[in-house]
Chain A
Amino acid sequence: MKIHDSLNGALLLAFAIAVYWHTLGFPEIPGDPVGPALFPRVIAIGMALCAIVLIVRGLASPGPGSWAEIPDWIRMPRLIVAFALVVLGLLVAYLFLDKIGFLVLAPLLLTALMLVLQIRTVVAIPVAIGASFAIHAIFYKGLGVPLPWGLLEPWAW
């Protein structure tokens, strides 16, 4: 998704202001001439300057007038679903991996994504299950990473 450079600049400027505003709450440390606020403040000011240049240049350039270019993939529902699956899949993992369990979430996510990417069901399901178990074996057994069992807790090995 490509948006106009002056919009990019505006977003960056808003972010820089928020950062600077947040640093106002940082304390002065006695005996420390620099303190925790200086470094982030310099960054915020630098960011704001970049943002202003982007805004000014963006508005000055004749270029295409649209504020946002709608990318091709937005018109293809299959690709939107694929994008959403990747983001939502990781979001669910971030929030609920411990509740659901790796060996439940991974095969479901893999199957869904492969089906959306037009892999045949007879291939997708076995590959999804096989890959999930293989990754589980490498990390859980091989490297000792405590991947959560979640729903499968009673059958953990």
Chain B
Amino acid sequence: MEAIVQAFGLIFDPYVLMVIGASALYGLFVGAIPGLTATMATALLVPITFFMPAVPAVAAIVTATAMAIFSGDIPGALLRIPGTPASAAYCDEAYAMTKKGQAELVLGAGLVFSVIGGIFGTIVLVTAAPALADFALQFSTFEYFWLVLLGLTCAVFIASDNVIKGLAALFIGLLVSSVGMENPAAHPRFTFDAPDLMGGVTLIPMMVGLFAVSEVLRYVTSVEKPLNLAQDRFGSIFKGQWGLLKKYPVQALRGSGLGTLIGALPGAGADIAAWMSYAMSKKFSKEPQKFGTGHPEGVVESGAANNSALSGAWIPALVFGIPGDSITAIAIGVLYMKNMFPGPQIFLENPQNIYAVFIVFFLANLLMLPLGVLAIKSYKQVLRVSRAVLMPVILVFCMVGAFAINNTQFDIGIMLAFGVLAFFMEKNGFPVAPVILGAVLGGMLERHFTNSIIKADGDWTTFFSRPIAGTLGVVTVLVWLLPAAIALWKRSRRAPQ
């Protein structure tokens, strides 16, 4: 109880509230500009949060991403360009509604059901995380080894559409994590005698490169099409929303539930949650033929799903230190720098910090209602900011941000290298998210493995002999075998015909 009071004190501090307000506006802006993603918003925010205490730093990331995922809906509905990949699933549907003269209804639905999904995900986070943490206290290095491996496995096998390319990306990330001296043997690996590499590849410049510099490169190599707003003046945003909620309560709940679950799976985030929810909505709909013609049902369900996924992703991140998506992977990198190591112990040692994160989630989702209306109404003005001006400024900001982490030019080189890498990976169909997950989790994987082997005195069977570890191990192996099993099953079904 004392911790909860402390947590309120941590959040309702003028400085923290100012950070939340500023990050909210920043997140809305970034999400609303086509081509700037929520992940990029996080990556650009990190160099600034680096100079803040842990609670405002996390508050900034949580608020900015929640806002960006919602405001990505605005260009989807008005320009037919998703503002963030998480809005892509229902972008055409939303635009079709705007064309039917229902811009207010679809934008309002995006906003209201984003808030509902966000709050739902937060409630699950608040109830599930401490209980899971309690359970996780009994975990030893064996369980953690399997958990990390299971997390990485899910990231590749569930979240990417090309398993081999996802795996290749994961191996690149794991290799990055092995650079430097911070391994159990303390032997400098892949440092090539560069003193800057002794401590390993600095994660933040790497993330800025992967998620921001690559976007800038993508922008400057694309031919910009003029943005034509379908509508620029709006009536009441909330009119008709109550009706939608009464008509589609199951859809809102199902979207929120599925979103939270997908978010909590490592590697799969808001984008995949939205796609899966949209598909699910169509499948269970009484009027599936209306989908794609400007029908709000799918927007309700997947609009709730992408925001609930954001909160869901924090469950494994806070409890096990295993990020649920690339945004929480970045956030975990920030927490490490603040010497706040996510894991079950943090719930015992610093519960006020965890409660503070929970409060931020509620606050951010409630703040979204008024600020979201503001963002919709002023969207015409937002679009007047030219991307041709914005992108160069972002580039210089990245440069300074990468430099600022260790005050070294070397990190600008790291950022450049990963920016170019991500650009070419994306062009060739390799997903980028597994790279960051591998880089964040590789150290943990190796450490838990080495410690376990030493504890077990070299006996490999110990990895399966503890009940929880054994279960996790079996599940991991099953997920590995799943694609092969599906392929075999498909082949055996095709054969008789």
The reply on B458 being an interface residue by CB < 8 A is yes
| Chain B residues, Cβ within 8 Å of A152 | none
Residues of B close to A131: CB separation below 8 A: 393, 396
Residues of A within 8 A of B419 (CB): 90
Contact (Cβ within 8 A) A35 B185: yes
**How far, in Å, is B462 (CB) from chain A's closest CB?**
13
B173's closest neighbor in chain A, by CB? Answer: A43
Bound form: Cα–Cα A97–B413 in Å:
11
Q: Is there contact, CB below 8 Å, between B395 and A113? A: yes
Q: How far does the alpha carbon of A118 sit from the alpha carbon of B220 in the complex, in Å?
A: 11
Are B189 and A86 closer than 8 Å at their CB atoms?
no
Which residues of chain B are near A36, meaning CB under 8 Å? 183-185, 187, 189
The CA-CA distance from A51 to B429 in the complex, in Å, is 14
B420 touches A40 (CB 8 A): no
Of the candidates A12, A90, A93, the one having the most CB atoms from chain B within 10 angstroms of its own CB is A90
Inter-chain contact B223/A43, CB cutoff 8 Å: no
A50 touches B403 (CB 8 A): no
Beta-carbon contacts of A79-97 to B below 8 Å, as 1s and 0s? 1001101110111011101
A89 CB contacts on chain B under 8 angstroms = 395, 399
- B190: interface (CB < 8 Å): yes
Q: Does B410 contact A (CB under 8 A)?
A: yes
Which residues of chain A are within 8 angstroms of B185 by Cβ–Cβ distance?
29, 32, 34-36
User: Mask for B134-171, Cβ within 8 A of A = 1, else 0?
Assistant: 00000000000000000000000000000011011001
* Cα distance, A54 to B450, chains bound together (Å): 31
Let me know if A39 is at the binding interface, CB within 8 A: yes
Contact of A90 with B213 in the complex, beta carbons under 8 Å? yes
Check if B389 sits within 8 Å of A119, measured CB to CB: yes
Which of the residues B167, B392, B453 comes within 8 Å of A34, measured between beta carbons? B453
A8 to B442 CA separation, bound complex (whole angstroms): 24
B216: chain A residues at CB < 8 Å are 86
Establish whether residues A12 and B168, one from each chain, have CB atoms under 8 Å apart when the complex forms: yes
B413-A146 in contact (CB<8A): no
A-B contacts counted at CB < 8 A amount to 171
Closest residue of A by beta carbon distance from B220: A82
User: Which one of B172, B221, B449 contacts A82 once the chains associate, using CB atoms below 8 Å?
Assistant: B221
Q: Are A54 and B168 touching (Cβ within 8 A)?
A: yes
The size bracket of the interface on B is 35 or more
A33 to B190, CA, bound (A): 21
Q: How many residues of A contact B (CB 8 A)?
A: 69
Residue contact A76 to B223, C-beta cutoff 8 Å: yes
Known: A79-B221, A145-B404. A94 touches B410 (CB 8 A): yes
Q: Are A40 and B221 in contact (CB under 8 A)?
A: no
The A interface, classified by DSSP as helix, strand, loop or mixed, is helix
**Assembly CA distance A128 to B165 (angstroms):** 40
Chain A 26-65: CB-based contact to B (< 8 A → 1; otherwise 0): 1101001111100110011011001101100100000000
Give the complex CA separation of A31 and B37 in angstroms.
48
Shortest Cβ distance from residue B84 to the other chain A in the assembled complex, whole angstroms: 22
Specify which chain B residues have a CB less than 8 angstroms from the CB of A79 in the assembled complex: 220-223
Q: How far is the CA of A31 from the CA of B442 in the complex (A)?
A: 23
Q: Which residue on A lies nearest to B425, using beta carbons?
A: A8
Q: Which residues of B contact A94 (CB under 8 A)?
A: 409-410, 412-413, 416
Residues of A within 8 A of B190 (CB): 19, 22, 40
**Is B397 on the interface with A (CB-CB < 8 A)?**
yes
Give 10 nearest A-B pairs by CB, closest first. A82-B220, A117-B388, A36-B187, A94-B413, A36-B185, A113-B392, A90-B416, A73-B221, A50-B168, A145-B404
Binding site for B on A (CB under 8 A): 1-3, 5, 8, 12, 19, 22-23, 26-27, 29, 32-36, 39-40, 43-44, 46-47, 50-51, 53-54, 57, 71-73, 76, 79, 82-83, 85-87, 89-91, 93-95, 97-98, 102, 106, 109-110, 113-114, 116-119, 123-124, 127-128, 131-132, 135, 139, 143-147
A29-B187, A32-B450, A86-B216 known; 12 new pairs, CB 8 Å cut-off, are: A19-B175, A23-B189, A36-B187, A39-B442, A43-B174, A82-B220, A87-B217, A87-B420, A119-B386, A143-B51, A143-B404, A145-B407
Residues of chain B at the chain A interface (Cβ within 8 Å): 48, 51, 164-165, 167-168, 171-172, 174-175, 178, 183-185, 187, 189-190, 213, 216-217, 220-223, 386, 388-389, 391-393, 395-397, 399-400, 403-404, 407, 409-410, 412-413, 415-416, 419-420, 424, 427-428, 430, 442, 445-446, 449-450, 453-454, 458
